[in-house]
Structure 1
């Protein structure tokens, strides 16, 4: 009786950073490499969910005086720019996956990236969560926070943090 191979489900978090695209390439080249050597090349090696989280737009501005609310035209313009940016990011990610033996789906969320990435990984029961690392110093991580650091401590599945190659790190 032939053993049925379980399809690996991996979620890769993508933003506009080169580090996140490097993490996607690394995932395809390293986690799904065995499928390329498989005798059945028609079978997909697994499933990748590419998740992108848009930051919510705050429709008000705090100048030195009273609160100023953004006009409807400004809100529409910002939302359209966000949608175009997301489309460009996902298009680039899908191009990277184009000739690989994996099924790919995309997921767009809006809110706080670190929380939503962990929640989505849990709800979708992924086998791995993959995030890129921007290589922030400990001081910058303490002040700015780090999505990868947060996910490492809060994700309910195994997480893989992919650092960029040394030549691209500062």
Structure 2
């Protein structure tokens, strides 16, 4: 008879339907591919009760770096113009985040899966791992942009960072291969 490991015993005690799953959503199509994978493979299981498990979709906004450049002569122009630009950028970022999460929520609604959304500010790779730990997430799912080694070295990879630093199991969903030859 085969021995059961601690991990498999834990999975038997906590059915898949009761898992707390987090999906990172950003403005890339790959994050929506990851969400679709979750909806099709975890919540699309025959007999699964969608509302039994918790699905959290998180969007991390990078902090706005404020750079002040004079818009014209005199201090009033400098400060007034900068404030207007900062507020415009903040509002645009909030609207973009709301639109992304509305699209993600609609995908969940189409599959009859209840989900919650969360918007936080910070470095995406750090915040995703912090939230996964704080919220006691059972499974973290992120999309992969499929960066090559050189781009990944210079730009960094959120999925690679999470794979090495998240305290829970992680699934990295690769983008579908393009068959254009």
What range describes the TM-score normalised by the shorter chain of this pair? 0.7 to 0.9
The reply to whether residue 91 of structure 1 matches residue 98 of structure 2 is: no
TM (norm. structure 1) is: 0.85
The reply to whether residue 53 of structure 1 matches residue 64 of structure 2 is: no
Q: Which has the higher helix share?
A: 2
The reply to whether residue 141 of structure 1 matches residue 152 of structure 2 is: yes
Distance in 1 (CA, whole Å) between partners of 2:82 and 2:158 is 31
RMSD between aligned residues? 2.4
1:168 to partner: Cα distance: 7.8
How many residue pairs match? The answer is: 159
- Per the alignment, residue 104 of structure 1 pairs with 115
Q: Which has the larger radius of gyration?
A: 2
5+ long unaligned stretches in structure 2: 1-12, 70-77
Distance in 1 (CA, whole Å) between partners of 2:136 and 2:91 is 32
- Per the alignment, residue 51 of structure 2 pairs with 44
TM (norm. structure 2) is: 0.80
Residue by residue over 1:87-137, the C-alpha shift from the partner in whole angstroms, topping out at 9 and shown as x without a partner, is: 110011011101324320001010100000000000001110000000000
CA contact (8 A) 1:132 1:148 kept: yes
Distance in 2 (CA, whole Å) between partners of 1:115 and 1:159 is 15
Q: Which has the higher strand share?
A: 1
5+ long unaligned stretches in structure 1: 63-67
CA contact (8 A) 1:46 1:102 kept: no
CA contact (8 A) 1:133 1:162 kept: yes
Write out the 4+ residue segments of structure 1 that deviate beyond 3 Å after TM superposition. Answer: 3-6
Q: Aligned to 2:136, what secondary structure does the other structure show? A: coil
- Per the alignment, residue 128 of structure 1 pairs with 139
